[in-house]
Chain A
Amino acid sequence: MKILVNDIEHDVPFDLSVMTLGQFMEYYDKYGRELDKQLKTIAEKKYTGDADTIEVLRTIDIDNHIDKEALAWFSFWTKMDFFTVKNEPFIQPVLTQYRILRYLLSQSEDDSYNFPSEIEWNDEKWVISNFTVTPASDMTFNEVITSKEVMRQIFTLGNSQWDALPYLCAIFFRKKDEAFDDSFIIEGSERLELMKSLPMTQALMVAFFLGSCVSTWISSSVFSLEEEETGM
């Protein structure tokens, strides 16, 4: 979407395929993390009153939150601070427009869950490793343990899932027939930097894949059970 701010045209994307993982991480650091915290607070908020009153109060909070989302989204992409003009009458059409376009954003997120086996990217064929751990699957134990260690270290440092995603993409999203190599996840490596330029649609496919992976591993390995469950 093109918008004019002070007669300067800015491009504000509403399609995940035209933004990179690196850009989204930058957005998340600047605005997304705080917005997520605020949304969590709304979700956990105890409202008082009858059912209708509670519904109205919650709707108002969510509505205000979407306004903040809109201001953050436009601020990030235009490099202008929309929060300083949030009460100006001319900002209302922007907020309304965001609500319409937000739907497109969630639509393109849904599309990323239909992941194909092969993806054409940078003139090469890339694949997301098969997550089903069967006798026929090629996934090595190194991929499993490296992804675990990356996640543990990132969460220990208090970082988010978005910080983990380039590493997970480097592990599970590879060129066709390419084996995983430890050098892929070394800080500053060419592969890790390349993953930050991955379109968000592909990055989310890997994230979705990983979610499936975890549930598969949980259900297929007794080792994943907690000690209490096994009585040890």
Chain B
Amino acid sequence: MAKFYEQWGWLTLLSTMAETKVFDLPGAGIDSMESVKATKAFKVLTYASLKRDHNVSEYNSLKKQ
């Protein structure tokens, strides 16, 4: 379990998600980081997975060129 957590890089994921501002809660008076934390885990994980898929596919396309 420790190994799994070590590998996952959650803090990087949190800051990456905050930078997108996708999960910002306007008018809630909290910053992007806090907004991501307050968002449902399902939403963040799904978004992160899709983003990862997109990045992988872009990377592979670039490699082929």
Contacts from A to B (Cβ < 8 Å): 133-135, 137-145, 148-149, 151-152, 155, 161, 210-211, 214, 217-218, 220-224, 226, 230-232
Contact = CB atoms under 8 A, between A and B. Distances in A.
Closest 6 CB pairs of A and B: A142-B37, A141-B44, A155-B2, A222-B49, A148-B10, A223-B48
A230 B59 CA distance: 10
Contact of B5 (A138, A139, A152, A211): A152
A219 to B, nearest CB: 11
A214 B41 contact: no
A224 B1 CA distance: 13
Contact of A140 (B7, B13, B39): B39
Interface in B1-34: 1-2, 4-8, 10-11, 13-14, 17
Contacts, number: 87
A161 to B, nearest CB: 8
Given A222-B53, A223-B48, A232-B56, A134 B42 contact: yes
Interface of B: 1-2, 4-8, 10-11, 13-14, 17, 36-45, 48-49, 52-53, 55-56, 59-60
Nearest to A142: B37
B64 to A, nearest CB: 12
Contacts of A230: 52, 56
A224 B8 contact: yes
A223 B41 contact: no
B55 A232 contact: yes
Given A141-B41, A221-B45, A148 B59 contact: no
B21 to A, nearest CB: 15
A223 B13 contact: yes
A214 B8 CA distance: 11
Contact of A137 (B17, B41, B49, B59): B41
A82 to B, nearest CB: 33
B42 A148 contact: no
A143 B41 contact: yes
B38 A221 contact: no
B11 A145 contact: yes
Contacts of B44: 141, 144
B57 to A, nearest CB: 10
A223 B2 contact: no
A216 B52 CA distance: 18
A226 B7 contact: yes
